[in-house]
Amino acid sequence: MSECCRVLVLISGNGSNLQAIIDGCDDNVNAEVVGVISNKADAYGLVRAHHSEIDTSCVIARKDESRQQYDLRLQTVIERYQPDLIVLAGFMRILSDEFVSQYLGKMINTHPSLLPKYAGLHTHQRAIDAKDTEHGASVHFVIPELDAGPVILQAKVPVYDEDTVETLSSRVHEQEHAIYPLVVKWFSLKRLIMHDNCAFLDGEKIGLHGYAPD
């Protein structure tokens, strides 16, 4: 079996996607979560990592620190883990252009909307306010432009009239927990790459709305 894919997960909160990725890195997947980095000391995802005996680090923003200064500290910690893949899983900081440019093609994110709809924050409330009938999640490569990287895989969920942010986000979470580990598996098997700002799976260019099996 080829070298195991070293996966580093960045979080800010609960870590349910982290948990899905930990659970997905079983014996059949050539990947291992080698570390978890949080920008919040109280992130429950750190507890999840401890339970799985995964090394953790915290990089907490300092007052009057520029985005670039924070990212330099973050980069120093990241390099200790020598990751093959960096997974943003609810990591709630916008990363500087210089930082992201160093990890093009090896950094992915899960975003709680059907990109390119609703880049940014508060996506569930925006979908409810717009009376959308469908919503979902997008796993994409990370580029400097926020939530604009090539989409790899999307999952759709229905939106009901009686939905609240809580009920809708829960439905989206369920789908994220299914698709994110699959994308990590594809990357670990070297089936998934980014080239010229496009995502490719098994050599086939992935469309704007992610991989769609025939």
Ligand X SMILES: NCC(=O)N[C@@H]1O[C@H](COP(=O)([O-])[O-])[C@@H](O)[C@H]1O
> Which residues are part of a known binding site?
15-17, 67, 92-95, 109
Tell me which of 5, 17, 87, 210 binds ligand X, using CB under 6 A. 17
String of contacts with ligand X for each residue 18-57, x by CB under 6 A: x--------------------------x------------
User: Do residues 124 and 172 make contact, with C-beta atoms less than 8 angstroms apart?
Assistant: yes
Q: Which 144-203 positions form the footprint of ligand X (CB under 6 A)?
A: 173, 176
100 makes contact, choosing from ligand X, ligand LMY7XDAE, none, with CB < 5 to 8 Å by partner type, with: ligand LMY7XDAE
Check binding of 75 to ligand X (CB under 6 A): no
Q: Which of 111, 124, 173, 177 is catalytic?
A: 111
Applying CB under 6 A, the residues found at the interface with ligand LMY7XDAE are 88, 91-95, 100, 109, 111, 120-121, 142, 144, 146-147, 149
Tell me which of 24, 83, 90, 105 binds ligand X, using CB under 6 A. 90
**177: which 2 tokens?**
């927990």
Torsion over CA: 191, 192, 194, 196 (sign): positive
Asked if 111 is an active-site residue, the reply is yes
User: Which residue number, 123 or 188, has a Cβ lying nearer to ligand X?
Assistant: 123
Q: What is the DSSP string of the chain?
A: ----EEEEEEESS--HHHHHHHHH-STTSSEEEEEEEESSTT-HHHHHHHHTT--EEE-PPPTT--HHHHHHHHHHHHHHH--SEEEESS---PPPHHHHHTTTTSEEEEESSSTTTT-SS-HHHHHHHTT-SEEEEEEEE--SSTT-SPEEEEEEEE--TT--HHHHHHHHHHHHHHHHHHHHHHHHTT-EEEETTEEEETTEEP-TT-----
Tell me which of 7, 8, 10, 16 binds ligand X, using CB under 6 A. 16
Instruction: Report, in Å, the least distance between residue 122 CB and ligand X.
Output: 8
Binding region for ligand X (CB under 6 A) = 11, 13-18, 45, 89-90, 110-112, 121, 137, 173, 176
Catalytic residues: 111
